[in-house]
């Protein structure tokens, strides 16, 4: 199957700083990628749809100015958590759609102190 | 809006069969997925249903009834390594996935 990578796999930062997470499709092109967030013992929640060459589409309740998404190429989408706070600590996962499957990245564990 | 429900937790015995149900009410439907997720890891694909009926894949089977907004995942010959969360997800018209609450399955000896 197709491979999606994420970097970093984990990050610890201070409150108020910004953190960038990269999501790459390694062996295929993805015009669309999805960003999910997962809090402990909860399911995945779709945050936004990243579209190559155009603006991202955010789900209701997700602050677009706080979670900046850039999809600059057909193989790379980035999520920047701006002015991170402890409540932003979570597991962030990206995915790219296939024909009858979604290919997930390994996830990024963000801890904000 | 999207509303996808699963039982929160289930416990089953090694070697047994367990059925995890999922009911959904969504504004769009373009297929239903089941994923397995171990703690701290990304979900792994188990099955995909877009038409009514049963899809079998080894020890795992998944069933879909679109008219009832209902699916189940059937796990046979349970093994200890099957202890994980099982996520039901509905694909919308934009290829995005909306996940259910997830079911934490514990397999006991």
Count CB pairs under 8 A between chains A and B.
Answer: 54
pLDDT category of residue A99 using cuts at 50, 70 and 90? confident
Strands (DSSP E) along chain B, which ranges? 2-5, 9-13, 18-26, 32-37, 44-49, 53-57, 60-65, 70-75, 84-91, 97-99, 103-108
pLDDT at A110: 97
- Lookup: tokens for B38: 């171990």
pLDDT tens, residue by residue, A66-75: 999 999 899 9
**CB-neighbour burial class of residue A84 (10 A; exposed 0-12, middle 13-18, buried 19+):** buried
The residue among B42, B51, B91 with the most chain A CBs within 10 A of its CB, best to mutate, is B42
Cα separation, A33 vs A6, whole angstroms: 12
Which chain B residue is nearest to residue A91, measuring alpha carbons? B40
- Lookup: tokens for B4: 């996808």
For the cut 80, the answer to whether the pLDDT of residue A1 exceeds it is no
State residue B24 phi and psi, 5-degree precision. Answer: -140, 150
Nearest to A100 among B31, B85, B99 (CB): B31
pLDDT tens, residue by residue, B3-46: 899 999 999 999 999 999 999 998 888 899 999 999 889 999 99
Task: Decide: A32 and B95 in contact? Cβ < 8 Å.
Answer: yes
pLDDT tens, residue by residue, B39-68: 889 999 999 999 999 999 899 999 999 999
pLDDT category of residue B2 using cuts at 50, 70 and 90? confident
Task: Decide: B18 and B78 in contact? Cβ < 8 Å.
Answer: yes
């Amino acid at each position: 199957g197709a491979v999606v990578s994420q970097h970093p796999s984990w990050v610890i930062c201070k409150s108020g700083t910004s953190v960038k997470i990269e999501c790459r499709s390694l062996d295929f092109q993805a015009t669309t990628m999805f960003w999910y967030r997962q809090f402990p013992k909860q399911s995945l929640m779709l945050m936004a749809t990243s579209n190559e060459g155009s603006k991202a589409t955010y789900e209701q309740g997700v602050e677009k100015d706080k979670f900046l998404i850039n999809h600059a190429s057909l193989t790379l989408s980035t999520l920047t958590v701006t002015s991170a706070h402890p409540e932003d600590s979570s597991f962030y996962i990206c995915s790219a759609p296939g024909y009858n499957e979604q290919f997930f990245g390994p996830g990024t564990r963000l801890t904000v102190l | 809006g999207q509303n996808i429900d699963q039982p929160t937790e289930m416990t089953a015995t090694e070697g047994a069969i367990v059925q995890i149900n999922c009911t959904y009410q969504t504004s769009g439907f373009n297929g239903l997925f089941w994923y397995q997720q171990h703690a701290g890891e990304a979900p792994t694909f188990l099955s995909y249903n877009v038409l009514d009926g049963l899809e079998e894949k080894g020890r795992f089977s998944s069933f879909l009834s679109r008219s009832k907004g209902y699916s189940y995942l059937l796990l046979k010959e349970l093994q200890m390594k099957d202890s994980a969360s099982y996520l039901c997800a509905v694909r919308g018209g934009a290829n995005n996935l909306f996940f259910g609450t997830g079911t934490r399955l514990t397999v006991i000896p």
